[in-house]
Amino acid sequence: MNDETALIARLERLAAALERLAAPTPAEPDFDAAEAFIWQPDRDGFEPVGAVNRVSLQLLKGLEGVAPQLADNTERFARRLPANNALLWGARGMGKSSLVKAVHADVRSRLRKELSAQGSDLKLVEIHREDIGSLPRCLARLRKSGHRFIVFCDDLSVDKEDTSYKSLKAVLEGGIEGRPENVIFYATSNRRHLMPREMVENERSTAINPSEAVEEKVSLSDRFGLWLGFHNCSQDAYLDMVRGYAAHYRLKIKDEDLVREALEWSMVRGARSGRVAWQFTQDLAGRLGKRLEP
C-alpha cells in the first residue's frame, strides 16, 4: 500500500512538471486595444502599437499614379467587396511602406461610421519578413475576429535556400483554406519578382530546365493581383516633396533658400527620393528650432 501511494505521488509530481513545461494557451487577442499591431510569433500574440509612425496621405508627393489604386483597393476590401493582395515594388525611399500606412489611416478615417455600423474596424498588422513562416498561425488568429485586417510585410524578398515563401504562396492562393475573407496582404519590395536578378540568372544557368528553375519562386509575385511600381523621382518631384513638407510644418524659409539647401542635401546623399526629402526636412526643422508635430 505504501509503495502504491508513493508511486501515485510520483506520478502526480511528474504530471505537474509536464504541465509547467507545456506552452501556455495563447490569450485571445484584444483587437480593440489599438488600430495597429505587430505579430509576435514566439507567443502567438499581437503587440498593440500606441502611435503608428506615418505621414498624411496628402504629404506623399509624386505618387499620384499609384496612391489612388491602393486606396480604391483598400476601400473595397474595407467594404467587404472583392479586392486584391498588393505588391508595392521599386526604388528605395520612394514611399512604398509610407503609402500603405497612410492609405490605412485615410480609408479607416473616411469609413469609420460605415465600419462601426458593421461592428468592425480596419486594422493594420505588421509581420516581419523573417516571421513569414509563421503567417498561417497569424491568419488563423485573425480569422476568428470580426474586424478587417491589412497584413503588411515591409521589404519582402526571397533569398537562396529560403523556403518560408511557400507558406506565403499557400496563404495567398492555392492552399485549402487560402486567405481569410477578413484579411488582405500588402507587401513592399525593391524587387519586382521578390528575388535578386543574380539569383534568377544563376538558377537559369545551372538548371536542367532553366524555365522551370525559377518558376516556383517567381510565381510568388504572381499571387499578388495588384502590382504598383515606384520609380526614382525627378528633381522637380523631389522639390515638390520638400516644399510640401515645408508648407505643412510651417517652416519659415525663403523658397530660393529652400531649393538651394534641398539640392545640396540631395547631392551629398547622392540620391533624390521621398526619404531624402523627409530627412532634409527633419534637418531643416531642427536648425530652425521647429518641432515636427503630427
Which tens digits make up the pLDDT trace of 237-250? 999 999 999 999 99
Of 209 and 268, the structure prediction assigns the larger pLDDT to: 268
First-residue to last-residue Cα distance in the chain: 74
Cα 166 from Cα 224, distance rounded (Å): 14
Q: Is the pLDDT of residue 144 over 70?
A: yes
The mean pLDDT of 87-100, rounded to a whole number, is 92
Is the pLDDT score of 1 beyond 80? no
In this structure, the strands spanning 36-40 and 148-153 are unpaired
Is the pLDDT score of 66 beyond 50? yes
C-beta atoms surrounding 208 within 10 Å: 6
- Range with the lowest mean pLDDT among 19-33, 74-88, 95-109? 19-33
Q: What is the pLDDT of residue 200?
A: 47
Cβ density class 235-268: b for 16+ within 10 Å, e for less: eebbbebbbbbbeebebeeeeeebeebbbebbee
Residue type, 69: Q
pLDDT in the model for residue 203:
47
Q: What is the mean pLDDT of residues 108-128?
A: 93
Cα–Cα dist 204/210, whole Å: 4
- Provide the pLDDT confidence category of residue 171 given band limits of 50, 70 and 90: confident
Which residues are paired to 227 by β-bridges? 87
Instruction: Give Cα separations from 16 to 11, 20, 53, 72 (angstroms).
Output: 9, 6, 45, 55
Does position 89 have pLDDT exceeding 80, yes or no? yes
| Cα–Cα distance, 208 to 211 (Å, whole number) | 9
